[in-house]
Structure 1
Amino acid sequence: MTDGQPALTREEQIELYKAIITPRKIEEKMLILLRQGRISKWFSGYGQEAVSVGTSMAMQDDEYICTMHRNLGVFTTRNVPLDRLFAQFQGKAEGFTKGRDRSFHFGTNEHRIVGMISHLGPQLGVADGLSLAHKLSGEQKISMVYTGDGGASEGDFHEALNVASVWQLPVLFVVENNQWGLSTPSREQFNFDSFTVKGPAYGMEAYTVDGNDIESVYRTTKALAESMRTRPRPVLLECKTFRIRGHEEASGTKYYPDGLIDEWSKKDPVENYEKTLIEAGILSASEADEIKKAAVKHIADMLEKADSYEKIVFDAEVELGDVYADFKNEEVKPSSDETKPMRMIDAIHDALDLAMDKHQNLVLMGQDIADYGGVFKATDGLMTKHGSDRVRNTPLCEAAIVGTGLGLSIQGYKSMVEMQFADFVTEGFTQIVNNLAKIHWRWGQKADVVVRMPTGAGVAAGPFHSQSNEAWFTHTPGLKVVYPSNAAEAKGLLLQAFEDPNPVMFFEHKGIYRSGEMEVPVGHYTLPFGKASVVRSGQTATIITYGMGVVKCKKLLSEVEEFADIELIDLRTLVPWDKETVLESVSKTGKVLLVTEDVKSGSFIHDISNEIQAEVFDHLDAPVMTLTSMDTAVPFAPELEEGFLPWSKLEAKIRQLLDY
């Protein structure tokens, strides 16, 4: 790829030398600080600096780079202030994560860097989203993302490359092949000699380069990047190098065969580049010495500044306050009294259409959602109206698509990801609970993503298309969890989800999609999160539920005369949930039944039960009672499913509560 590229000028060569010296000198200092106990952990890129420096020097300053453990050279090349970087390593408030995460687990939009999480793969899908944003905006820009040879064994690697290829996204996938995954050599990680064989399998070009030759890395990357900007497409670039030190310092290198470190030390990218420049007369030995001294002094000055920062002090209010991005959770009333009869699926379709009109930066993604309109037809006709760029069929790559949503958010877009069934969300679980949920708390980045979750049993679909998995997400700080029970609320809550810059898990019970019509306000309106609905007022007892539970309870209460004075509360949202309305109702009635279609173990209603007993115990005239499905998977046969679900036991449970 360097054919036809002009030779580097003396100034470019000196800049490359200066750029590779800085991370090397930081490494040397950090290893000393680690032994002194002044930092707790260090992932060394010693001997691999040419990859990070050479590739990032070839990128434009406003193009995003997604990093990993050994990419210190990206941060120094992008001129991240070293005092803040060192404060990050020390866990201080002046670091990029305010002491909440370590080493390079952070991002900075100012410097166009998106850091990793520990799972060695999710950053790849994020790069897809960053590049999709460029493509949608018509910008001649690319994104670059690193993975290790070990990390490339993760499913995220396959998914991200596949999506990038199908959508022809300008992502430069850099495989930093240092030939070991912690103590596991390449021959036990994969069965090929070079990652160049991977490219054609995904329909993309692939190249390999000596990762210890900084000029070769730089020139190859620059040529590829320039080509990708004018002809957007993904490219795989393998940089072959070696990890001189351990995966992290505590793990050591005893697993390396004798002589291997010595052999690779002769290929040291810093020492060899310095020698090359001196022998070519580009740089004198004294000039090289002055560059190194200047780097060492700057590092020492910035370390002294970082050391001067006070140790972080725990403040619960601050910690909780950063879990979510700020959002004015306000109700927007309909502009008129006009209504229209709609089923829930119609209301969801209407909300999606209105949101696409209002938010021109909103992108819908999911399997079969374009021409086909989704398996439940929630997006039917939306591609025709809004275009295939904004209503996108996806490959079966849930992890990469959720990551793409996050990448879009970083670039200022909104996105919706439809899980074909809520059960399939497990394929994207890491992206949701570890990336979307934590990113604002970690480094202040919004995750403006709505994940729609067709959920629930009662339709004889068996254990993999029927489970109620909302509690998986109510347990994860940083996510909002919404679960409407009717068409009008589904529309208002979904439109609110698109206003909220935080990640929203939006549950839609399949059994309610087409169960009947109700009058739904025409046009745009929103319902606030965390505000329950009192469906029926009463004095004798309170039933608290959501989703299908509201439908079943409402029907039964209207049919049984003895139940006429029971209060029914629809939570509508689980995170946040309306504690005030719940406690006020229970204090009034003295008896409460919590109902859910979820299984008993770990159900979210038990969190509410705990709050009721802690806050209004003195007002209770009976134990807090719960009704759930059985603690099994959802069975297929209708007879078994009916026995599994709580609805056949609902009347008896209510009578037990009233009779106590």
Structure 2
Amino acid sequence: MLKPRMIEEKMLLLLRQGKISKWFSGIGQEAISVGVTMALNDDEYILPMHRNLGVFTTRGIPIKRLFAQWQGKASGFTKGRDRSFHFGTQDYKIVGMISHLGPQLGVADGIALAAKLKNKNQVTAVFTGDGGTSEGDFHEALNVASVWQLPVLFCVENNGYGLSTPTSEQYNCKNIADKGLGYGMESHIIDGNNILDVYTRISALIKDIRVNPRPVLIEFKTFRVRGHEEASGTKYVPQELINAWIKKDPLTNFENFLLKEQVLSESIMASMKERIAEEINQHIEIINKEEYVVPNKTKELQDVFKNYKYQEIISGNNLKEIRLVDAISDGLKESMEKHEDLVIMGQDVAEYGGVFKITEGFIEKFGKERVRNTPICESAIVETAMGLSIAGIKSVVEMQFADFVSSGFNPVVNYLAKTHYRWGQNADVVVRMPCGGGIGAGPFHSQTNEAWFTKTPGLKVVYPAFPYDAKGLLITSINDPNPVLFFEHKGLYRRIRQDVPTSYYTLPLGKASIIRSGEAVTIVSYGAGVHWAMDTLNEHSEISADLIDLRTLQPLDIQTIYNSVKKTGKLIILQEDSMFGGIASDISALVAEHCFEFLDAPIKRVASLETPIPFSKQLEDQYLPVERFLLSLKELLAY
């Protein structure tokens, strides 16, 4: 406890000197961090918050690396890409927070699930504060952990305030521990300022959880004697309350106890402080001499994704005519056979086989441990998938409909997408996205929302139009150790048939397919748009066109488009998504920038109306760009 306290005191001095930019103080809460970490084995994961410096020091992380992290130096854990405690390290089995707080709770579920699947008898501990318990992620994570009986220790540091908002304005029950009752979860209240109480009670609980896996909610009663972060101050806290808690300081009281019991002496204490102070000063001096990060654009771009060398697996000659929905099912099934620990998660995916019956029969073949029905909690399940990846297990998450990903948007764009860039941890997750209109499903089951994710660096986006592509690209997406959003058009599921190899094979991401070749115009599309374009060309055989099926939107095969435009001189882009902000806009801009001198006409974009997707057939037909495409194509050809 003394070491993190002394480091913090030094950090407050450096903050005043302008040597660091921000500090979140955990002074007065060291007993929780240290006690919990000491109770865990070193190979058990712990997910701390920004007031848990004691977690990092107790795990033995060299102080110089922490100083480098806080100063944005290259030897820090994020290479200057993130600050404070927003990092993780597999070497010390620590997974740091993101500023959204809640997602790490679901990530802990995933790590604990991996331990349970591997029969490791390990406990995962995760921290949050009293403020974080109001987030939906908290409730989703506790619910999943309880339903699946995961060995997670949910540690809530109740320090009285969420920034400046007192707990009386955050929840309307006596204790946070009371919330465990609603999830059928064991819960305890512990004096977070008593190191002996923390360590002995947590040690006993952890030993029991290893033998009898289950989640446990712990509310640590403590107090934050400094500001939320130093700039915010403590004016909103009554001084008498601060004075009362200062008397309960865990370090001072334990020091006095040890002196009284003659375990320590004044000379031993002085020696300890001198040794720690010397270590702190030595490490600060080392990092102060280290140069700041030298920007390297190539390195920055390379680190967005984990390096993955695509392995081509050629398909066999045995073909079978199947539907798109069957191709996806086969790709999943063969991937489950190849990756023996691959987990599928989603609503109704087990016995029911999913709403589109893609995983029908999977549970009999692979078992309920690997084909898992989930509660309706998209956010926690995406986070669980992230946790599985941290623990070395691949997963596929089925969004029942692509529209529902909005309920899990935060962990997709802020956790899956950013973690490898931030601290080198890949997100080995595929999120399946049944999408698209044309079947009268209305505003909440028909969106084709790929542009939400093509905008976000760190995500790959795949969108096949044919059964052959769907199977090969899905297998590759699962093999790829990076996060992939895999879009599947519901309207094509049972309408499009094709001869597909019955064997396991792969197709590369980032490589478009040229469906037809022509001279007069380049047509670019993906998903259902490819079939609308094909139907148009079939009805108008006089049109000589290159028809390009993008297949993947991120990475985007822009070179194939450039090559075609240089040949035809005209470009029309067809997308089912509404116009503004869609992939067609980016393609149009790229071609205008790089192929302007080859264009013989303005680039045309054709898309759905700028409205939500309506339900009735008449309105949906008007919304979709099918009929408008032919008119725009003719206008372009006549230019």
**Correspondence for 1:46:** 27
Structure 2 residue 127 is matched with structure 1 residue 146: yes
Secondary structure, aligned partner of 2:542: helix
Q: 1:472 Cα deviation (Å)? A: 0.3
Trace 1:174-573 onto structure 2 (pairs within 5 A). Answer: 174-334=155-315, 336-563=316-543, 565-573=544-552
Q: Separation in 2 of the partners of 1:313 and 1:193?
A: 51
1:532 is aligned with what amino acid? A
Structure 2 residue ranges without an equivalent (≥5): none
Q: CA deviation at 1:295?
A: 1.1
CA RMSD of aligned residues (A): 0.7
Q: CA deviation at 1:329?
A: 2.5
TM-score (norm 2): 0.99
Cα offsets for 1:64-109 (capped at 9, x unmatched): 0011110100000001111111000000110000000000000000
Aligned-pair identity (%)? 57
Give the one of 145, 161, 165 matched to 2:142.
161
- 1:387-410 per-residue CA deviation (whole Å, 9 max, x = no partner) reads 000000000111111111011001
What secondary structure does 2:449 align onto? Answer: coil
Quick check: 1:642 aligned with 2:621?
Answer: yes
What is residue 16 of structure 1 aligned with on the other side? none
Q: Secondary structure at the match of 1:562?
A: coil
Does 416-425 or 323-332 show the bigger shift?
Answer: 323-332
Cα distance in 1 for residues equivalent to 2:169 and 2:416: 32
- Aligned-partner residue type, residue 610 of structure 2: D
Shift of 1:331: 2.9
Match of 1:6 in 2: none
Moved more, 364-373 or 189-198: 189-198
Aligned length: 639
SS state at 2:293 partner: coil
- What corresponds to 2:42 in structure 1? 61
Give the C-alpha shift of residue 293 in structure 1: 1.4
**What's the counterpart of residue 51 of structure 2?**
70
Change (3 A) 1:331 1:559: farther
Of the three residues 589, 595, 613, the one matched with 1:616 is 595
> Which range is displaced more, 197-206 or 161-170?
197-206
Secondary structure, aligned partner of 2:595? helix
How far apart in 2 are the matches of 1:557 and 1:330? Answer: 35
Shift of 1:444: 0.3
Distance in structure 2 (CA, Å) of the matches to 1:318 and 1:104: 23
**Is 1:134 the equivalent of 2:115?**
yes
Spell out, residue by residue over 1:102-153, the C-alpha distance to the aligned partner (whole angstroms, 9 max, x if none).
Answer: 0000000000000000001000000000000010001110100001000110
- Contact 2:466-2:496 within 8 A present in 1 as well: no
Q: Give the aligned residue type for 1:236.
A: L
Q: CA deviation at 1:562?
A: 2.3
Give the drift of 1:315: 1.0
The separation in 1 between residues aligned to 2:375 and 2:405, in whole angstroms, is 14
SS of equivalent to 1:508: strand
- SS of equivalent to 1:97: coil
Offset at 1:294?
Answer: 1.1
Letter matched to residue 239 of structure 2: D
Q: Which residue of 1 aligns with 2:564?
A: 585
Structure 2 residue corresponding to 1:37, chosen from 18, 25, 29 = 18
Which deviates the most, 525-534 or 601-610? Answer: 601-610
- Paired residue for 2:9? 28
Amino acid at match of 2:42: D
Matched to 1:115, the amino acid is G
1:604 aligns with 2:580: no
How big is the shift at 1:648?
1.6
Rounded to whole Å, the distance in 2 between the matches of 1:612 and 1:461 is 35
1:659: which partner in 2? Answer: 638
Amino acid at match of 2:273: K
Take 1:524 and 1:170, find their aligned partners in 2: how far apart are those partners?
Answer: 36
Q: Which residue of 2 aligns with 1:117?
A: 98
Q: In 1, distance between residues paired with 2:211 and 2:153?
A: 14
Aligned match of 1:84: 65
